[in-house]
Amino acid sequence: MDLDKIGSTFSTPSTPSEWIDYLHGKLGKRLPLIRKYADYYEGRQATMPFSQNLYSTAFGDAFREWSDNFCALIVDAVLERMKVIGFRLTDDPEADADAHDIWMRNNMPIQSNAAHLDAMIHGEAYAIVWAGLDGEPVISCESAEQVVVQYRPGSRTELEAAAKFFRDDFGREYVSLWTDEYTYTSFSDGQGWHEPVRGPNPLGVVPVVPISNRARLTGDSTSDLASVIPLQDAINKTATDALVASEMAAFPARFVTGLEILEDENGRPIEPFRIAIDKVLQAEDPNAKFGQFAAADLSNYRVLIDLLTMHLASLARLPYHYMIDSGGQPATGEGAEAAEYGLVAKAHERILHFGRAWVEVIRLCFRVKGDPRADAHAAEVIWADVENRSEAQHMDSLVKLKALGVPVEVLWERAGFTPAEIERFPALLAAQEELIKKYPAAVASSPSAPDAADMATTAPQGNASNAARKIAGDDANRR
């Protein structure tokens, strides 16, 4: 095959203006789908998507603001389990204090939460790293509604160009374009983009990091809502049908027989009664009989809604007790833990991809500072525990790990303390030791704390200890 012919057929952008036009068009093509996912998360989807026009006209206004929206729950159930608490960039097992300082200075606990949220809704979010006026790195998390990237041909990791498009309060559209060597800025007056203004790119790389959700080897990253939207529509449709049925059956239809039908001068039947809650029906004709039709049975709607909801929970890997009433008793203990296995695995999968993106962001920050840690390819993110466990269960597992010889610094980290808190512990423990030496009498008079190894080997309590008591003669003493 003639490679020159291929190159002439599929031309690539070669000038800043061409890149801006290309990336602007690429962003415009995906915007409708991105905004659709955002609408479903916010509960702004159509409540009667399958209804006929007459049906929508009759009842659309009554239920226009209503939706039984599970999309927010599907995203938020994972989001609330993901929290970055630090970084390790070198072989030193301690958390990197400089990385944590950069993270906190850029308000990243809040920005990263928003980026995780947008990535799971839209399929992707972005982080831009640049130098501030003081030379310190600045991190800005951006939406997929404004940022678009282009990878190098044949690569899924190296960026060739990236752009951010945004509008000011007066409707003027701006663009920032990044390549390996230069940055460009321009604006549109509605007639086209002005000639881009060029500036240097001292980083030597495109300073944009995609935060991809459910990244694949082929195709684009995917929203968590992509597979559940059809079921969400079906649930909304069924629930709306139930509401309409309840509206029609709220005032049971009545009928009368044996009563003469009167007509007006045009031959149209005249309504014999004005039926209302505070009205009594009466007729002089002794042959007249009154009755009413049975109210609509809405139980079938609930059965169908529960079935659809269970299918949705399976696709989203959510425990059923998150979505379906279990008789008023919340799931607890091992049953709740087992039910959340899928959700925990889903959270671990998300932080695997998101963590790699945050490592690249921190490495770019050190590149801004000219720090050799910019090449820390083995760096890792320290995440908070994604499992929801009771404090008693959590502490008990840590005590048993200590009995096995696990370093206390590791246990502090697993207990959920931040790197900044852990860094203070040695000084606090030293001060505590000095206090004990200074006031030994106070310590001797206080109850001593149980040793971790003793707690880990405590004999079973309750009925399981009956045999031990018999051996010790406790039963004989009690008798």
Q: Report H helices in 197-292.
A: 229-249
| Predicted local confidence at residue 409, as pLDDT | 79
| Predicted local confidence at residue 331, as pLDDT | 61
3-class DSSP string for 368-436: HHCCHHHHCCCCEEEECCCCCCCHHHHHHHHHHHHHCCCCHHHHHHHCCCCHHHHHHHHHHHHHHHHHH
The angle, 0 to 180 degrees and rounded to 10, between the axes of the packed helices 71-79 and 16-42 is: 110
Instruction: Give me the half-sphere count of Cα atoms (radius 13 Å) on the Cβ side of residue 318.
Output: 24
**Are the beta carbons of 75 and 37 closer than 8 angstroms?**
no
Strand ranges of the sheet holding 147-151, from the earlier edge strand across to the other edge? 147-151, 159-167, 173-178, 182-188, 197-200
Q: Is 183 in a helix, a strand, or coil?
A: strand
| Predicted local confidence at residue 83, as pLDDT | 92
**Are the beta carbons of 175 and 186 closer than 8 angstroms?**
yes
| Predicted local confidence at residue 9, as pLDDT | 47
| Predicted local confidence at residue 466, as pLDDT | 46
Distance CA 263, CA 270 (A): 5
Q: Report H helices in 182-264.
A: 229-249
SS3 content of the chain, % helix, strand, coil (to 5): 45, 15, 40
| Predicted local confidence at residue 250, as pLDDT | 55
Distance CA 341, CA 319 (A): 9
Q: Is 350 in a helix, a strand, or coil?
A: helix
- The residues near 306 (Cβ < 8 Å, ≥ 6 apart) are 324
CA distances from 463 to 76, 358, 402, 460, 469 (A): 42, 51, 28, 9, 10
463 burial via Cβ count (<10 Å: 0-12, 13-18, 19+): exposed
**pLDDT of the chain along its 479 residues, tens only?**
344 444 444 578 889 999 999 999 999 999 999 999 999 999 887 655 555 554 555 555 555 566 678 999 999 999 999 999 889 888 777 778 899 999 999 999 999 999 999 999 999 999 999 999 999 999 999 999 999 999 999 888 899 999 999 998 888 899 999 999 999 999 988 788 899 999 999 999 999 999 999 888 888 899 999 999 999 988 888 887 777 777 666 556 666 666 666 767 776 777 666 665 555 666 666 777 766 666 667 778 888 988 898 999 888 898 877 777 655 455 666 667 777 888 999 999 999 999 999 999 999 999 999 999 999 988 999 998 888 766 677 777 788 888 888 888 777 777 777 777 777 778 888 888 877 777 776 655 555 555 555 555 544 444 444 444 444 444 444 43
**Are the beta carbons of 162 and 178 closer than 8 angstroms?**
yes
CA angle (36, 37, 43) in 5-degree steps: 90
Distance CA 221, CA 235 (A): 26
